[in-house]
């Protein structure tokens, strides 16, 4: 399979994408090389509006909980992990994770993303007990948890298939799987940045296939700007599109640029806004079977994140009550729900909170009873994120 740029004209490729005719990976490469940013954005918005209400942009309220930073791998782009035995390594007690969930509910949240390093000593029963504890204490919270590298490690440790690991976790309360660990789904790049040992491109795809076969939805991600070529990026997008054709299990595609501070790859040049918005628009044009695209305000900042809503994205992602992985690499962002709605409104859209799987919109009246119940759980650090509670008549 060649991922070299096609020799078609940009105008013809854009016309096809807007008309709903599938474009090839080679066409996407041509767009990344030669597309005019504003023309790409206009075309991407047409495709975005085929899938989504043109007047609305969505977001969600959830929290990333990194239950451990201990990791057996050493991805070069990662500033978050600590090696087993490192005094800075941690494993959060269940009660502490529960307290973080209470804070999420106090802020009108609907779900949490649980993701760790890949801790070598945790058996599958640890994950089952954690899910069971959270589901029995907080049945309302959506548990989006354990990305493919964690699933692979559990499968190897327990000598189980990917399918069976996911089935056990699902029975314990797992509701969907995050797309973390994809980075760039091309093995030469994965070997270069030391992401190959945690899972190959085929393994990442297969774990997502097995999740979908288990009836779980998952997200798809791409982290780029690690020095890889454009061929690798379009190959990645094609692998996502191919699996989506097969299973239909991806809810959304979320891409962001590598953040290099405190990593082993500080010599890699930064990826700037023009390239980010170009890549976002081309992914919208290429992924004709994925309904939702997020704009990454967490890595691009609030203003470029907002602009992403004009370049193919229909969703701003989470308000990020807590985020530890990107912030370990020098980029720390968080915002209140009110600020998120202000950003969306000032970009020309009606803001609406959504559920974690994008099935429906959420109102503050709906989240108010639990927000009221858990208000006292808010720590001083997060009190400024709280919105006034609606008056119940």
- Is the distance from CB of 63 to CB of 100 less than 8 angstroms? yes
Rounded to an integer, what distance in angstroms lies between the CA atom of residue 284 and that of residue 305?
15
Is residue 256 a contact residue for ligand SF4 (CB under 6 A)?
Answer: no
Q: Cβ closer to ligand SF4: 144 or 198?
A: 198
- What secondary structure does DSSP assign to 211-275, as a single string? HHHTT-EEEEEEEE-SS--HHHHHHHHHHHHHHHHHH--EEEEEEEE---TTSTTTTSPPP-HHH
Q: Cβ closer to ligand SF4: 80 or 276?
A: 80
Q: How far is the CB of 388 from ligand SF4 (least distance, A)?
A: 37
Q: Cβ closer to ligand SF4: 17 or 329?
A: 329
- The stretch near ligand SF4 (CB under 6 A) out of 76-84, 165-173, 265-273, 364-372 is 76-84
**Cα 56–61–65 angle (5° rounding)?**
145
Q: How far is the CB of 119 from ligand SF4 (least distance, A)?
A: 10
Q: Cβ closer to ligand SF4: 89 or 390?
A: 89
Spatial CA neighbour of 62 closest among 243, 322, 262, 247: 322
- What secondary structure does DSSP assign to 296-340, as a single string? -HHHH-HHHHHHGGGTT--EEEE--S---HHHHTT------HHHH
Q: How far is the CB of 184 from ligand SF4 (least distance, A)?
A: 13
Q: Cβ closer to ligand SF4: 78 or 290?
A: 78
Is residue 71 a contact residue for ligand SF4 (CB under 6 A)?
Answer: yes
Q: Cβ closer to ligand SF4: 73 or 258?
A: 73
CA 270 from centroid of its chain's CA atoms: 20
Interface with ligand SF4 in residues 78-137 (CB under 6 A): 78, 80-81, 117-118
Q: How far is the CB of 256 from ligand SF4 (least distance, A)?
A: 13
Is residue 179 a contact residue for ligand SF4 (CB under 6 A)?
Answer: no
- Is the distance from CB of 213 to CB of 162 less than 8 angstroms? no
Is residue 149 a contact residue for ligand SF4 (CB under 6 A)?
Answer: yes
Is residue 326 a contact residue for ligand SF4 (CB under 6 A)?
Answer: no
Q: Cβ closer to ligand SF4: 45 or 257?
A: 257
Other Cβ atoms closer than 10 A to 241: 22
Positions touching ligand SF4 (CB under 6 A) are: 71, 73-75, 78, 80-81, 117-118, 149, 198
């Amino acid at each position: 399979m060649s991922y070299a740029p096609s020799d078609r004209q940009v105008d013809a490729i854009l016309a096809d994408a807007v008309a709903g005719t599938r474009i090839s990976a080679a066409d996407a490469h041509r767009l990344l090389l030669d597309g005019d940013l504003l023309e790409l954005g206009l075309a991407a918005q047409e495709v975005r509006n085929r899938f989504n209400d043109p007047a609305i942009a969505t977001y969600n309220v959830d929290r990333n909980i990194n239950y451990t930073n201990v990791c057996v791998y050493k991805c070069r782009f990662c500033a978050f992990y600590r090696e087993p035995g490192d005094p800075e390594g941690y494993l959060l007690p269940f009660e502490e994770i529960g307290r973080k969930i209470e804070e999420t509910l106090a802020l009108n949240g609907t779900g949490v993303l649980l993701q760790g390093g890949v801790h070598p000593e945790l058996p599958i029963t640890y994950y089952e007990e954690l899910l069971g504890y959270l589901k029995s204490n907080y049945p309302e919270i959506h548990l989006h948890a354990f990305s493919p590298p964690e699933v692979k490690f559990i499968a190897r440790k327990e000598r189980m298939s990917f399918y069976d690991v996911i089935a056990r976790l699902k029975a314990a309360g797992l509701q969907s799987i995050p797309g973390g660990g994809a980075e760039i789904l091309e093995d030469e790049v994965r070997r270069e940045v030391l992401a190959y040992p945690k899972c190959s491109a085929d393994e990442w795809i297969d774990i997502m296939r097995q999740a979908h076969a288990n009836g779980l939805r998952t997200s798809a991600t791409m982290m780029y700007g690690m020095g890889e070529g454009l061929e690798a990026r379009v190959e990645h997008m094609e692998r996502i599109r191919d699996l989506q054709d097969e299973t239909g299990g991806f809810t959304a595609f979320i891409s962001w640029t590598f953040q290099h501070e405190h990593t082993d790859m500080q010599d890699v040049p930064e990826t700037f806004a023009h390239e980010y918005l170009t890549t976002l628009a081309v992914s919208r044009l290429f992924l004709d079977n994925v309904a939702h695209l997020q704009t990454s305000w967490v890595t691009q900042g609030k203003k470029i994140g907002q602009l992403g809503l004009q370049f193919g994205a229909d969703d701003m992602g989470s308000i990020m009550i807590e985020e530890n992985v990107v912030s370990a690499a020098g980029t720390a962002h968080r915002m209140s729900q009110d600020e998120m709605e202000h950003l969306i409104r000032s970009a020309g859209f009606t803001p609406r909170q959504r559920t974690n799987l994008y099935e429906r919109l959420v109102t503050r009246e709906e989240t108010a009873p639990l927000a009221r119940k858990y208000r006292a759980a808010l720590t001083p650090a997060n009190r400024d994120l709280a919105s006034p509670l609606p008056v119940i008549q």
